[in-house]
Amino acid sequence: LPNHYTLPSGDKIPSVALGVWQAAKGEVGAAVKTALNAGYRHIDGAWIYGNEAEVGAAIKETGISREEIFITSKLWNSFHQPDDVAPALEESLKRLGTDYLDLYLIHWPVAFKKETTSDGKPIADLDLTNDPYPTWKALEKLVDSGKVKNIGPINSMSCRLQNLTANNLKHQPAVNQVELNFWNPQQDLVSWAGKNGVLLEAYSPLGSTQQVKETLSVPEIKAVAKELGITPAQAVISWHVQRGTIVLPKSVTPSRVEENFKVVKLPQESFDAIEKAATAHPPKRVVDPSKNWGVDVFED
Ligand code: A2P
């Protein structure tokens, strides 16, 4: 299986990353160190996860040189106003203790206004939500300055993406990060992306905390794992890479962090068995924090 893919910029992106969403402070640093010592060279983080300082300190403590590690962060919804983009990046860089990011993603295709409702709920800025090009132009400037090597969206359905790319973009989206797992395999998107040279990154690849147990108990996944002498998690993570996607499993358990990095090429019939089982049930999105934002993020 490929241990990396090549982005339109020519940069190489490792196919398996440690995801650090929901990795608590006090735990995430040790997970990052375990990962880097096990061979991971890709950390997928975000400003909103609230753990960038600990992630950055852990990276430094390993003594591995910065250029060897692919670091991703994400622009939160409150910072889509073009003037807010560079300061938001600076804050992430400062916390991470680095002077550039390998990848900076727009976390959700929703911009928030500065003010909130009286009970603290966000209010969508519909202009910037419907037309993210001004935000994108601010991101392009970060690429020109060298502070960010690659940029992209997350959770962007193809319609929104096409609206964005209909502009004459100076820098194209490098990847699209989306939920991909056994429950929500998005086979049409995966096959469209493969045909169109768009790299996808799979978040919540094990089904996230809510569904991981169920994922690892799926009979077809267990059968593949047993046959190949690997764990169910390794079977699932390998399936993701074999689908041509980057995969971002999260764990703060050292043995699992190590386990998740060992991907293997599945024999075609094993791959097909998981793909068939994943697409045999109606798709169900596991993660959707956007329900209270007044915008249907997943409408295409
Ligand atoms: P933990 O972090 O406590 O080890 P996803 O990557 O889809 O978001 O899933 C993350 C969830 O899956 C977390 O609850 C994580 O637990 C759990 N997890 C990660 N790797 C494994 C594994 N190899 N075996 C079992 N559970 C795992």
Burial class (CB in 10 A: 0-12, 13-18, 19+), 64: middle
Which of these is catalytic: 40, 49, 104, 203?
49
Q: Which of 177, 247, 253, 286 to mutate to test the pocket of ligand 1 (most atoms within 8 A of CB)?
A: 253
Interface ipTM > 0.90: yes
Distance 208 CA to ligand 1 centre (A): 7
Burial 74-111 (b: 16+ CB within 10 A, else e): bbbbbbbbbebbbebbeebbebbebebbbbbbbbbbbb
Minimal-distance CA residue to ligand 1 atom 17: 251
Q: Residue 100 catalytic?
A: no
Cα separation values, 206 from 215, 250, 262, Å: 7, 8, 15
Q: With the C-alpha atoms ordered 103, 215, 188, 242, is the resulting torsion angle positive or negative?
A: positive
- Which atom of ligand 1 lies at the shortest distance from residue 234's CA? 23
Residues 33, 25 contacting (CB under 8 angstroms): no
Higher pLDDT, 197 or 31: 31
Minimal-distance CA residue to ligand 1 atom 13: 209
Q: What are the backbone angles phi and psi of residue 222, rounded to the nearest 5°?
A: -65, -40
Q: Taking the CB of residue 286, how many other CB atoms lie within 10 A of it?
A: 20
Distance 180 CA to ligand 1 centre (A): 15
Domain ranges of the chain: 4-206+246-252
- For ligand 1, which residues put their CB under 6 angstroms from it? 19, 204-209, 212, 216, 233, 249-253, 256, 259-260
Q: Which two tokens stand for residue 125?
A: 């800025």
Tens-place pLDDT, residues 9-66: 999 999 999 999 999 999 999 999 999 999 999 999 999 999 999 999 999 999 999 9
Residues 97, 57 contacting (CB under 8 angstroms): yes
- Which atom of ligand 1 lies at the shortest distance from residue 207's CA? 7
* Residue 226 pLDDT > 80: yes
Q: Which of 28, 204, 239, 256 to mutate to test the pocket of ligand 1 (most atoms within 8 A of CB)?
A: 256
Distance between CA 214 and CA 204 in Å, rounded? 13
- Which atom of ligand 1 lies at the shortest distance from residue 250's CA? 6
Averaged confidence pLDDT in the chain = 96
Residues 85, 107 contacting (CB under 8 angstroms): no
Distance 179 CA to ligand 1 centre (A): 15
| Sequence-separated (6 or more) residues with CB below 8 Å from residue 244 | 190, 193, 194, 199, 200
* Residue 206 pLDDT > 70: yes
| % of the chain surpassing 90 pLDDT | 89
Q: Among 127, 197, 132, 128, which residue's Cα sits nearest to residue 167?
A: 132
240 is in an annotated binding site: no
Distance between CA 186 and CA 179 in Å, rounded? 8
Distance 6 CA to ligand 1 centre (A): 27
| Sequence-separated (6 or more) residues with CB below 8 Å from residue 223 | 273
Structure confidence at residue 196 as a pLDDT band (50, 70, 90): confident
| % of the chain surpassing 70 pLDDT | 100
Strand partners, 21: none
- Which atom of ligand 1 lies at the shortest distance from residue 256's CA? 23
Residues 266, 289 contacting (CB under 8 angstroms): no
Distance 249 CA to ligand 1 centre (A): 7
Tokens 């169910």 -> residue: 232
DSSP 22-63: T--TTTHHHHHHHHHHHT--EEE--GGGS-HHHHHHHHHHHT
Minimal-distance CA residue to ligand 1 atom 22: 256
Q: Residue ranges of the alpha helices (H) in the chain?
A: 28-38, 52-62, 82-96, 126-130, 133-145, 158-165, 187-196, 208-216, 219-228, 232-242, 254-261, 268-278
Structure confidence at residue 300 as a pLDDT band (50, 70, 90): low
Q: What are the backbone angles phi and psi of residue 3, rounded to the nearest 5°?
A: -90, -5
Tens-place pLDDT, residues 61-106: 999 999 999 999 999 999 999 999 999 999 999 999 999 999 999 9
CATH tag, 4-206+246-252: 3.20.20.100
